[in-house]
A and B are shown apart, each in its own frame.
Chain A
Amino acid sequence: MSGLAILLGAALGYAAVRFKVKEDPMVEQIDAILPQTQCGQCGFPGCKPYAEAMATGKADINQCPPGGEEGIRKLAALMGVEFKPLNAEHGEPKPKSLAVIDENICIGCTLCIQACPVDAILGAAKQMHTVIASECTGCELCVAPCPVDCISMVPIAENVATWKWKYPLIPLKALH
């Protein structure tokens, strides 16, 4: 009997190590929906921590302004809860923007570099800094730390490459 117990115990112990679930799959699924701006408007230091809080029921699904209404709908569907409108306490959805450093004003303090969650700012102490446009998520985290207010958020203009066909609005003929 005890031999069997040990055998099963060993098997279970092995399985626990071998098939260990490294991370909560729910967190991964939620994180996949979040827009990854890492802006922290939800009140958590990044998208992953917010996903973890949501998975453990410590945060609500309507705290992510960049994800917008569509993001909330996806989260509601995933978590099996009712849709609710965006909580205005966390901000409002804005058009996607890029941070732009006024290079004439920048004093090279590196504070924005430390604030950027995706390492999209290039520069060194007492050297001019610049934003790598292709990497910027528009999170605005670099704006507040700047001591000389030389960073502005510029909305991304629509061009031929980013233009989208609009939803057709056609007048329907009245049937009566």
Chain B
Amino acid sequence: MTHPIQNFHGGVHPEENKQVSTQSPIRVAPIPQQVFVPLRQHIGEPARPCVAVGDRVRKGQIIAKADGYISVAAHAPTSGTVTAIALHPVPHPSGLSDPCIHITADGKDEWIERIAVDYRTTNISTLRNHLRDMGIAGLGGAAFPTFIKLNPGAAGAVKTLLLNGGECEPWISCDDMTMRERAAEVLQGAAIMRCMLHADTVLAGIEDNKPEAIAAMREAARNCDFPVEIIVVPTLYPSGGAKQMIKLITGREVPSGGRSTDIGVATFNVGTAYAVHRAINHGEPLISRVVTVTGNVGRAQNFDALIGTPIQELLALAGDAPEPVTGYLMGGPMMGIELAQTEIPVVKATNCILVKSDRLFPPPPRALPCIRCTRCADACPAELQPQELYWHARSKNFDKAQDYQLFDCIECGCCSYVCPSHIPLVQYYRYAKSEISAREKEQQAADHARSRHESRLMRIEREQRERAEKLAMKAAVKTSDAPARPADDAKKAAIQAAIERAKIQQADNVNNHPSTK
């Protein structure tokens, strides 16, 4: 029984380089002396610290609570003392620092009390809140809070639960190794998510360059108490993109600007499913993840590393770089972000640390002008017109860029990869996207300021009127009490005269313009 595969548009096939990091099993990284837990590790509002400097914390203790709806908690990855809540470099393309909770480990690695939850008998809303407080965010790279995606919404809106084991980026193998070694746990996580979503079908998509993972997942699926279909998809970047994986497996396309749930599919990374299992069945919050350390290192391998571990600790474990290091990437060569320094901690989104050398990653040739060959359009998995987007983003014609569905771009880099002129196209799209978002925010702020200014003006006017009325009342009270003064008499006479004049004028009008009826 083979599941029909519907290829998505475009895609590229860069050299995989995955086997170098799959030669040895996942190694548990030792506890570092100091960890730095960023408050902003997920999409949405940063978590709010709930510990103070000097506090002793235990492993798994909540140290920052979810703040707002789109947010999840953060936890102490090991036991120790909070030494600071301060800025520290974080993995971000800006290279800027962001607030982190600094913890000095005591080496005891002393857990909090871990309480498992029976998901079969627990209310779904309670489970969702539990996952938020367990800090679960998508481990595929975007780090979107998982509990939000586990909202079934209108009953039966999500029919299919799709486990994404695509892992299409070159060099990265953390999902591969997770599936090889932890397939049963991944499917136990899927069981929880299936129950929460009331999903009918559970599917898992894995690229055909991971035969060991496919075998392990199939073996685990056989021992499962619910049907799971393991579907092998051809190796083609970016098959691991949620929308591309959905197209491959269901043949359906997520509408422009829409979400996968719009077509009844909820997609989760296999690592996320594992984290859900640990959180619900073992009471362990998300404090560690599998990270591939590869590229220009002595021994490329996967580590089970605590969140907050400075990447230099992992680099030291992976051995000396055989060639001169020219930089570090978090993620793969297609979509990864440059890391300026090695004190940067592992975060929930850190799937890979890729060490560069000039031989492995030669600097890109100089860009030439666009010749409008449209090879980028052939390669675009979102079926956009990258050459048009480039044109409009480059000339800062943002309205036009949006007309060409700029925001459907997944920034996969296929267009830049095939560009014969070596134009860094994605950089232009990122620039245009962030410029458009900033303008929208500015416009909202301006509208907000306008309404506040208008209500202030209205308030001032009202206060003035009320004051005048009060004064008039006071004056009226005074005049009725006091005997009429000559000045008042004169005023009264003047008013009386005016009334008389008006009456005369009215009478004249009636006489001069008789009704035409």
Contacts and interface: CB of A to CB of B under 8 A. Distances in A.
A158 B449 contact: no
Nearest to A170: B367
Nearest to B431: A165
Contact of B98 (A2, A47, A137, A160): A160
A22 interface: no
A173 B447 CA distance: 45
Contacts of A173: 365-368
A95 to B, nearest CB: 14
A165 B427 contact: yes
A118 B448 CA distance: 9
Interface string B411-455: 000000000000110011011011100100010011111101101
A57 B362 CA distance: 59
A165 B424 contact: no
A164 B438 contact: yes
Contacts of B322: none
Interface residues of B, number: 35
A168 B96 CA distance: 19
Given A159-B98, A160-B40, A160-B90, A38 B367 contact: no
A160 B96 contact: yes
Contacts of A166: 431
Contacts of A164: 431, 434-435, 438
A171 B422 CA distance: 11
B456 interface: yes
Contacts of B452: 118-120, 135
A36 interface: yes
Interface in A5-46: 6, 31, 34-38, 46
Contacts of B428: 168
B399 to A, nearest CB: 12
Contacts of B93: 163, 165
For the residues of B in contact with A, the DSSP-based class is: helix
A162 B96 CA distance: 11
For the residues of A in contact with B, the DSSP-based class is: loop
Contacts of B396: 167
B480 interface: no
A37 B449 CA distance: 7
A65 interface: no
B516 interface: yes
A72 to B, nearest CB: 16
B369 interface: yes
B369 A172 contact: yes
Contacts of A38: 449, 453
A117 B433 contact: no
Nearest to B460: A114
A26 B90 CA distance: 47
Interface in A130-176: 135, 137, 158-168, 170-173, 175
Instruction: Name the residue among B96, B449, B452 with the largest chain A CB count within 10 angstroms.
Output: B449
Contacts of A159: 96, 98
A134 B424 CA distance: 36
Interface in B322-368: 365-368
A119 B456 contact: yes
Contacts of B427: 165, 168, 170
A73 to B, nearest CB: 11
Contacts of B423: 170
B366 A118 contact: no
A36 B40 contact: no
A167 B453 contact: no
B449 A137 contact: yes
Interface in A103-119: 117-119
B450 A47 contact: yes
B43 to A, nearest CB: 11
A170 B424 contact: yes
Contact of A36 (B94, B365, B369, B450): B450
A171 B368 CA distance: 9
A126 B117 CA distance: 55
Given A168-B427, A172-B367, A117 B98 contact: no
Interface string A33-71: 011111000000011000000000000000000000000
Interface of A: 2, 6, 31, 34-38, 46-47, 117-120, 135, 137, 158-168, 170-173, 175
10 contacts: A36-B449, A36-B450, A37-B449, A38-B453, A160-B40, A160-B98, A167-B396, A170-B366, A171-B366, A172-B367
